[in-house]
Structure formats: structure tokens, C-alpha cells
Amino acid sequence: MKKFEYYKADSESAIFAAKRLLIDSIWKQANIELPGAITFPETLEIFEGRIPENSDVNKVLVVNNIKHAWQFLLENRDYPIDHQLISEYNKLLGSGGLVQNPGQFRRHNVAISATKYVPVIPTLDLIQDKLKAIEAIENPIEKSLSYFAEIARGQWFSDGNKRTAQMVANHSLLQMSCGLFAVPVEENTHFVTHLLNFYESNDSEQLFDYLYDTSIRILPGGFTPKMIREELNLTVPEFIQQEGKIAKEDNFSKSNQKENNAFYQRMRESDEAYFRQSQAAHSLDKEEHKRKSR
């Protein structure tokens, strides 16, 4: 497996970049589960606490749950990755009825669409052994992609495995201040093909090379290696060298606390707006039901 080049940003600038790219990350993650079914403007509306016209409940739940998972990550970034943390991500992502028994590890056999591969039922010992092996990986990109690969291929939960795996990979990347993981919407078909090939072969090399090139956003700039090559006409080492020079000239610390406070205030306000709108819609449904019952 090739060495994955990365840039380790300072903690403050990495978090700042993650927040700046948050809605884009949520949109891309939602489109893994809702291929082509949700637009960026719709994602923005839901994030800000509004329900887009003609949106179904499932779409709103997916986006809101991913948003809450990201909020949890940003507030608990330093928490070590263990089976309890992974379970919490699945619980957050599957709330509202999206996932059966959210947060509970799978206890039954499961078939996966478009492949003959059948994952074993995950025991706690198996999960802990996998996590221990991943923790020993030194390269932070390879480590984060390994979290994604093991959770997705192992199907550790009844549902929501790819969403959970993406959040754990991002938790790992942000812990080390070196990147974000989000599959571009236009890459969804290729992503599924690579993932299914990995399921069948259990050989992660091609999957990791593909994901690194297309889906790992190097912080704080947020460019993938593919973007660096095609849009900036640079090699990854050249780009990393540039980032290092810029970082020496920048100072994120002065305004960062104010940015943090404003960010979390917007998150709270959008949740409150969504709750009020949901309650209003529920009240209208009840009134309509009463009217029709008369």
C-alpha cells in the first residue's frame, strides 16, 4: 500500500475548516444514503431548521441526524475511538426510526445487496481486536480509512453502517487535525463499485487509493489530492509545503473562541426552528384529522 501524504494542521485551524465545510460534508454524506435525492440548497434549509417544500420525513431525518452526529464529533473530538463511541454514532445517525435498534451491534446474519459476501456476526471481542489493530497504524490517513473499511465491510450494525463508518473516519482525521472524509456526489457510482469490490476481495488497497484521491480533504484548505492535481496543478507534496508556509503567517487563535460561540449558537437556533416547524406541522395534521372526522 502506498504512503498517503498528509498535512497536520494546528488544532484550531482544523476545526475552523471542518465547520466551514460542514454543510458540504453533510450533503455529501446524505447523498450516500439518498443518491441524487437531496440537493445542497435542501441540505442547507434543513440544517438551518427549515423543512423544504415537498420533502419527505426520511430525507429530513437523514440530514438532521448527520448534523447531530457532527455536532457530537466537534464537541467530543478528543474522545478515544472505542466500541462505545462507535455505537453512539450509530445511535445518533439512526434515531427517529431510521435504523432498527440504533446503537446496538448486529446480532443476526445479514445479506448485502449486489454481492455474495456475507459478514460474520460481530462479537465484542472481534470488534475490539479490529480496533486495536487499527490503532497501531501510524499513518493517520490509512488509520482513518481503515476505521471506515472495517465498520462498513463488517456491517457492525443492523443499518447505517456506511454513515457510521464515515463519522468514525472523520473523528479519527479531526483528532489528528489532518483531513475530512466526504465522497463527492459525482463519485457515488464509482464509490459503490470500489466498495463492493472490497467487500468481495477484502483487499483494501484499491479502495484506499481511490478514496484518498477523491474523498480525503486535506486541511485547512479542504482540497482532495485530485483537486490539487487538476485544479491547482500541483503535486500533493508541493501543496503541503505551501500549506505549511501559509500556516506560519496565519493566526487563528484570536477570533476562534468567538467563531466557536457563534457556530454553536447557530446550531441551537436551527434545532429550535426545526422543532417549532415540526410541532406546527403536527398540530395542523391533528386539526385536519379532527375536521375530516366530523
**Percent of all residues in the chain with a pLDDT value above 90, rounded to a whole number:** 75
Average the pLDDT over 81-97 and give the result.
97
Report, as an integer, the average pLDDT of 13-21. Answer: 95
- At 265, the pLDDT band (50, 70, 90 cuts) reads low
Specify the pLDDT at position 272. Answer: 58
Report, as an integer, the average pLDDT of 202-226. Answer: 96
Rounded distance between C-alpha atoms, residue 124 and residue 81, angstroms? 14
pLDDT at 42 exceeding the cut of 60 = yes
272 closest CA partner among 15, 99, 264: 264
pLDDT of residue 289: 45
Query: Distance between alpha carbon 106 and the CA centroid of its chain, in Å?
Result: 21
- pLDDT value for 33: 83
**Do the Cβ atoms of 57 and 280 come closer than 8 Å?**
no
CA distance 205 to 38: 31
Q: Is the peptide bond before 220 cis (omega within 30 degrees of 0)?
A: yes
Q: What pLDDT does residue 202 have?
A: 97
Q: What's the sign of the alpha-carbon dihedral 61, 273, 28, 146? A: negative
Whether the predicted pLDDT of 254 surpasses 50: no
User: Is the pLDDT at 24 greater than 50, yes or no?
Assistant: yes
Our CA dihedral for 231, 234, 236, 239, rounded to 10 degrees, sits at: -90
- Residues 153-170 as b/e (b if ≥16 CB within 10 A, e otherwise) read bbbbbbbbbbbbbbbbbb
Domain range summary for the chain, segments of one domain joined by +:
11-293
Q: Looking at the predicted structure, is the pLDDT value of residue 273 above 80? A: no
40 touches 24 (CB < 8 A)? yes
Q: Given pLDDT bands bounded at 50, 70 and 90, which one contains residue 226?
A: very high
205 vs 256, more confident: 205
Q: Which residues contact 16 (CB under 8 A, 6 or more apart)?
A: 220, 252, 256, 259
Cβ–Cβ < 8 Å for 229, 235? yes
Give the three cell numbers for residue 99.
435504523
Is 90 exceeded by the pLDDT of residue 121? yes
Write out the DSSP string of the chain: -PPPP-----HHHHHHHHHHTHHHHHHHHHHHHSTTT--HHHHHHHHTT---TT--HHHHHHHHHHHHHHHHHHHSTTS---HHHHHHHHHHHHGGGTSSSTTSBP-S----TT----PPPPPHHHHHHHHHHHHT--SHHHHHHHHHHHHHHHT-BSS-HHHHHHHHHHHHHHHTTS-EE---GGGHHHHHHHHHHHHHH---HHHHHHHHHHHEEBTTTTB-HHHHHHTS---HHHHHHHHHHHHHH---HHHHHHHHHHHHHHHHHHHHHHHHHHHHHHHHHHHHHHHHH-
233: pLDDT confidence band, cut at 50, 70 and 90? very high
pLDDT of 119 > 70? The answer is yes
- CA distance between the termini of the chain: 69
Report the pLDDT averaged over residues 137-155: 98
pLDDT band, residue 248 (cuts 50/70/90) = low
**Span of 48-57, 74-83, 159-168 with lowest mean pLDDT:** 48-57
Instruction: With a cut of 50, say whether residue 282 has pLDDT above it.
Output: no
**pLDDT over threshold 70, residue 159:** yes
Instruction: Average the pLDDT over 220-226 and give the result.
Output: 94
- Report the pLDDT value the prediction gives residue 243, as an integer from 0 to 100: 85
Q: What percent of the chain has pLDDT over 70?
A: 83
Nearest to 185 by CA among 214, 225, 217: 214
Output the average pLDDT for the chain: 88
Q: Looking at residues 149-168, what average pLDDT do you find?
A: 97
Mean per-residue pLDDT for 236-249?
A: 84
Enter the pTM of the model: 0.87
CA 223 to mean position of chain CA atoms: 16
pLDDT in the model for residue 13: 92
pLDDT of residue 53: 87
CATH of domain 11-293: 1.10.3290.10
